[in-house]
Structure 1
């Protein structure tokens, strides 16, 4: 099943978020959450809440 989530009004540059999104795109949710927990980027926190 596919789902789509939108993150609006995040106070971080889209280019910085795109770097992290490229790491987790097309991965299962549990793998994506593990990647976000162990990646030291500021964009990981809002994306983790979004998932």
Structure 2
């Protein structure tokens, strides 16, 4: 049985978040937790929190043992973009895009 956790409107670009997502996809939960704890990226903290929420959902709602879980899918989708402008010389303006992400973590029970 699958259990998932969603984190929406994360203030990090999807491109940077996908770098961390690719590290843990397909790993067991124990391996993924140890990888994320020692990854020096801003997105690692976000993915770690969502992974722990997905594990808690599996444990509480479906009574699945944590030792048998693996990370089935981790996706970082594009959220809304905040558009700002930076004033430049000679009355010009440069657009600044503050990107957001929607993170989805799905864990499933490993069947030997």
Under TM normalisation by the shorter chain, which class is it? 0.7 to 0.9
**Aligned residues: CA RMSD:** 1.1
* TM-score, normalization by structure 2: 0.43
Larger radius of gyration: 2
Higher strand share: 2
Q: Secondary structure at the match of 2:27?
A: coil
Give the corresponding residue for 1:2.
2
Deviation at 1:16, TM superposition (A): 0.4
Per-residue Cα deviation, 1:22-47 (whole angstroms, up to 9, x for no partner): 01001011100100011100001111
Higher helix share: 1
Deviation at 1:7, TM superposition (A): 1.9
How many residues align structurally?
Answer: 51
* TM-score, normalization by structure 1: 0.88
Structure 2: give runs of 5+ residues left out of the alignment.
52-112
